[in-house]
Amino acid sequence: MDKEIIKVENLWFRYDSSWVLKDISLSIDEGEFVGIVGPTGSGKTTLVKHFNGLLKPTKGRVLINGYDTRKHKASFISRFVGYVSQNPDHQIFSQTVYEELAFGPKNFGIKDVERRVREVAKLFKLTGKLNSSPFSMSMGEKELLAIASILSFDPKVIILDEPTIGQDFVSYLELVKLLKKLNQRGKTIILISHNVDMLAECTNKIVAILNGRKLFEGSTDVFFEKKSVLKKLELPVPHKMKLVKTLRFKERLLDLDEILEWFRE
Amino acid sequence: MIITQYVERNGLLHKVDVRVKLLFFSSIVVLSFTTTNPLINISLIFLLIVLSFLSNIAHEFLVKIKKFGMLVLFAGIIWLFLYRFSLFTKSQASSKVILTLGPLVVDEVGISYGILMPTRILVMLLSPLLFLMTTKVKEFIEGLLRLRVPYPVAFTLGLSTQMIYHLGDEYEKIKQSQISRGLDLETKNVFKSIKNHVPLLVPLTVRALEVSEKINIALNLKNFDFKRKPRLKKVRLKKVDYFFVLLSLLLISISLLNVGGVI
Ligand SMILES: Nc1ncnc2c1ncn2[C@@H]1O[C@H](COP(=O)(O)OP(=O)(O)O)[C@@H](O)[C@H]1O
Ligand SMILES: [Mg+2]
């Protein structure tokens, strides 16, 4: 599973006058769970919008599954990389949840739309709501629907841009569980988040952006060891890391289940 | 929440009284409408650009001009060929044919329309833009009140300029989220293109309602009273103001001469 799915080469980008992304190079392999961190305004959203061709490099090159994003429409590149927009109200337009989930697959001309929709609905516990209106859903439900409506066309990569679900503890655990499950099934996941606990729990790789430049790219374990980098980004050490330290665990990070297991013992 | 287009600078147009500015920019638009001379429109665009320099917002202004570039180019090409079928243009039987591309004929009148219409569109877009970039919403509303526009009307007008800008932003985001789900907005097929815009219009309507709802709540929280007109301080016109009044009168005179068929 070491196939490179996203490759960024010396990417420079500006909306109008000043550079927002400066000489960024990175690569993401299929099956990875990548966290992107950086202060607000550092260019995270701008960067990931290059991953499905919504934005094209001013200078440099972005290759998605081997396709140069400048040479293909965003609606084509999006087949491989699904970007979940920050506000679900920007996408919901259908009369039923079913149609909303079927929108992507239909646009991409995928066969078996019905099966896909039912599968994804089951995963998100939306089966009972397929015939109801998405406009009557709560904000949390709408956000889940937005993620589901990307997964329904089964892109190789899914990008979550600062999901606000998962901010309370219960939905946090739910989201973590769901994302890990998807990743175990082979989905490449890119998660933009300020939540160090979620990043430590889920990701195996971190890309840190500061003022439009790449500050760090490497494994999550190494990232949270780098005190100087964390300081520059004004990020706290995740609780789990503190726990690992105080309890003098093995070198490597444990995941939540392992820690719970340890407490049970 | 509301993103203003106002660019805070210490520039020429920032200093001009709102009423004078309204008069001035209206006279530019009126002149652009009444003239059939592409040169006048080009001069007006030039004037707007010079004013943006004098107001220290040239950079921001030129970026916006660039955004309209494609639209204007497109309009130019359309008018170049299609003016012949327009109800508004005079007969062109005598116009010298310059180029024939199959069924498409380019003649002298076509070329002048191909320049006139896009420059006219540009003036109509850029004038309000420059006005809003150098005028605070609050000033705009107060200016309208000084011109005896009823308060609710003035207030709504001021707010709607912000809404339009805000919704432009929303529209961009909506577009991006639907493209992310494979919606093809770049299709060459016109009918398909129209159909493909439906998934944009529904969320846009929803967002528009939500934004106005939020504004409403914000105003209620601030105990805003639509019926109570704010007190206006007396303001005196300055030298710059008189200069712009004169300039406006000049522009209006040219319009009048145009309408009278003198030029
Ligand atoms: N559509 C846009 N037009 C102009 N500038 C933008 C636009 N979107 C973002 N920016 C600017 O680009 C910079 C990076 O923004 P963004 O990528 O949204 O950062 P982040 O997601 O890390 O908060 C910011 O300075 C922001 O103001
Ligand atoms: Mg962002």
- pLDDT tens string A187-214: 999 999 999 999 999 999 999 999 999 9
Distance A75 CA to ligand 2 centre (A): 21
Phi and psi at residue A45, to the nearest 5°: -65, -40
> Which residue from B minimizes the CA distance to A15?
B63
pLDDT in tens, B35-67: 888 899 999 999 999 999 999 999 888 888 887
A82 touches chain B (CB under 8 A): yes
- pLDDT score, position B65: 82
Tell the residue number behind the tokens 């961190």, with chain if given: A37
Cβ-defined contact of B203 to A75 (cutoff 8 Å): no
Phi and psi at residue A139, to the nearest 5°: -60, -40
Amino acid at A118: R
- pLDDT score, position B80: 75
Reported as a pLDDT band with limits 50, 70 and 90, residue B1 is: very low
Judged by DSSP in three states, B62 sits in: helix
Whether residue B99 has pLDDT greater than 90: no
Reported as a pLDDT band with limits 50, 70 and 90, residue A9 is: very high
Whether residue B94 has pLDDT greater than 70: no
Q: What is the mean pLDDT of residues A67-96?
A: 93
- pLDDT score, position B2: 37
- pLDDT score, position B228: 65
Q: What is the mean pLDDT of residues B116-132?
A: 88
Q: Which residues of A touch B199 (CB under 8 A)?
A: 91, 93, 103
> Which residue from A minimizes the CA distance to B176?
A54
Q: What is the mean pLDDT of residues A143-157?
A: 94
Q: Which residues of B touch A135 (CB under 8 A)?
A: 206
- Left if phi > 0, otherwise alpha if psi is -120 to 50, otherwise beta: which for B148? left
Whether residue B107 has pLDDT greater than 80: no
A163 touches chain B (CB under 8 A): no
Whether residue A69 has pLDDT greater than 80: yes
List CB-based neighbours of ion ligand 2 within 5 Å: A 45
Cβ-defined contact of A75 to B183 (cutoff 8 Å): yes
Cβ-defined contact of A78 to B202 (cutoff 8 Å): no
Amino acid at B250: L
What DSSP assignment string belongs to A148-215? HHHHTT--SEEEEES-STT-SHHHHHHHHHHHHHHHHTT-EEEEE-S-HHHHHHH-SEEEEEETTEEE
Q: What is the mean pLDDT of residues A221-246?
A: 85
Is any ligand 1 atom within 6 A of the Cβ of residue A17? no
pLDDT in tens, B182-237: 998 877 777 777 788 888 888 888 888 887 777 777 777 766 666 666 777 778 88
Reported as a pLDDT band with limits 50, 70 and 90, residue A251 is: low
Q: What is the mean pLDDT of residues A169-185?
A: 87
Reported as a pLDDT band with limits 50, 70 and 90, residue B91 is: low
- pLDDT score, position A73: 92
Strand pairing category for A81-84 and A67-68 = unpaired
More confident position, B93 or B5: B5
Cβ-defined contact of A75 to B59 (cutoff 8 Å): no
Residue among A93, A113, A153 with most chain B CBs within 10 A, to mutate:
A93
pLDDT in tens, A124-133: 989 999 999 9
Give the number of the ligand closest to the Cα of residue B169.
1
Q: Which residues of A touch B181 (CB under 8 A)?
A: 78, 82, 91, 103-104, 107, 149-150, 153
A50 touches chain B (CB under 8 A): no
Instruction: Choose the weakest-confidence range: A145-159, B2-16, B44-58.
Output: B2-16
- Ligand 1, atom 1: closest residue by C-alpha: A15
More confident position, B82 or B130: B130
Tell me the C-alpha distance between A64 and A4, whole Å. 9
> Which residue from B minimizes the CA distance to A154?
B181
**Closest Cα in chain B, distance from residue A2 (Å):** 25
- pLDDT score, position A223: 95
- Ligand 1, atom 16: closest residue by C-alpha: A43
Phi and psi at residue A13, to the nearest 5°: -145, 140
CB A199 within 8 A of CB A190: no
Nearest CB to A78; choose among B173, B180, B202: B180
Is any ligand 1 atom within 6 A of the Cβ of residue A45? yes
Q: Rounded mean pLDDT of chain B?
A: 82
- Cα–Cα–Cα angle for A156, A162, A166, rounded to 5 degrees: 95
Using a CB–CB cut-off of 8 Å, the residues of B that contact A are 59, 63, 170, 173-174, 176-186, 198-199, 202-203, 206-207, 210
Cβ-defined contact of B180 to A54 (cutoff 8 Å): yes
- Ligand 1, atom 9: closest residue by C-alpha: A46
Q: What is the mean pLDDT of residues B123-137?
A: 89
- Token couple for A209: 């952006």
Whether residue B151 has pLDDT greater than 70: yes
- pLDDT score, position A80: 96
**Closest Cα in chain A, distance from residue B166 (Å):** 14
- pLDDT score, position B247: 94
Q: Where are the alpha helices (DSSP H) in B55-89?
A: 58-82
- pLDDT score, position A68: 97
Cβ-defined contact of B181 to A49 (cutoff 8 Å): no
